[in-house]
Amino acid sequence: MEHAQILAEVQDIFRDILDNEDIVLQDQTTADDIEEWDSLTHIQLIVAIEKHFKIKFTSAEILSWNCVGEMVDCIAKK
């Protein structure tokens, strides 16, 4: 799956979990850029992404992400 396709699917998940259809994700997007994205919703996002893509992330992978692009790259590798 290509990076852009993964990003589009992750964006749909963000919009659903954060209940905000105006969210537009870019590779450099961080939690600081999205008001609704806090520590609790971060966990919900990870669980939803894991279910959607049928993958599991390690704690080290999750902690290494500094932006959405790094998360998408991690999904692409799995």
Summarize pLDDT for 20-53 with one digit per residue, the tens. Answer: 999 999 999 999 999 999 999 999 999 999 999 9
* CA 71 from centroid of its chain's CA atoms: 6
- Mean of per-residue pLDDT scores for the chain: 97
Contact 56, 45 (CB under 8 A): no
pLDDT value of position 29: 98
What CATH code would you report for 3-77? 1.10.1200.10
Cβ atoms 3, 73 nearer than 8 A: yes
Amino acid in position 57: F
- Would you state the pLDDT for residue 10? 98
Phi, psi angles (nearest 5°) of residue 3: -55, -50
Strand, coil or helix: 59: helix
